[in-house]
Structure formats: C-alpha cells, structure tokens
Amino acid sequence: MEVRVKVPLKADIVYQGIELKIAAKSQSWTKTDLGDYASKSGVYVHHSNGIILYVGKTTIGEYGNFGERLRREFQETSSSNSQLFQLLAKQKHPVKTIMFDLDDIDMMVNPGPIQLARERKALIMEQILIGIFQPIGNKV
C-alpha cells in the first residue's frame, strides 16, 4: 500500500495566509475575514514572522468549520484563554493563517487504490505537517 502526499513547502506556507486579529476579552472577533473559507473545513496553519506556530484541522462536530474553530482560537473569551490563544497573542508580528479546504486536501493526498474519506485525508495531512514542521503550539 502506498499513500502519496504533496506537502506544501514551508516557504509556500509562510508567505501566504490571511492576517487574523487576536481579540482580547473586551474585543469581538468576526469570521468575515475568512471569506468563503468561514464555512469550509480542512487543515489550517498559523504562522508569524516565518515561524509555523500551530497546525490544526477542523472536519467534524460543533466546530467543524474554519470560522467556528478559528474564533475559538483567536478570541480570548471563546478560547477560555487557552495555551494556544496565549501563544498567538504574545507574537510580536502579525499572525497569519493559511487554510487548505477539503477539496485542496483531496488533491494533495492520493491513497492510490484505497478509498479514503476526505476527513481521513485531512487527518493524514495534519499529522504530516505537524511531524515535519514541529510547531511549538502542537507541543503544548
């Protein structure tokens, strides 16, 4: 059995993405900055100043889309001041997020003759990106 994965280069990740606002307790955070991605699911990467901070995925459940998941990470109230929120908030440079939706992931992960759901492919991509880039936010 062979699974082929097209992994984006670090340079391709850190030079792309949407700059997202870190919202302290008294501030609101809106998912409108995400555009069409707000209602999509997949794998995302937070980075700042050329450093990959965190890799995550959002595929199922109550927070199964980018809009809901990222709100829970970038808004202090929604995050319950989590360790990830604290990591993002302490960055001296803007934090950007690049998102790969399930359609993107479907093209990046080729399981050969095996049938894999797109959500499983997203899990594979998330784990590979964490393994390669070893983001500090995934070690906490």
The total domain count for the chain is 1
Q: Residue 64 is part of a domain; what is its CATH number?
A: 3.40.1440.10
List pLDDT tens digits, range 36-80.
999 999 999 999 999 999 999 998 777 789 999 999 999 999 999
**Confidence category of residue 140, pLDDT binned at 50, 70, 90:** low
List pLDDT tens digits, range 76-95.
999 998 999 999 999 999 99
Q: Which domain holds residue 116?
A: 4-138
**Predicted TM-score of the model (pTM):** 0.94
C-beta neighbour count of 18 within 10 angstroms: 16
Judge whether 118 and 12 are in contact, CB under 8 Å.
Answer: no
- DSSP 8-state code for residue 114: S
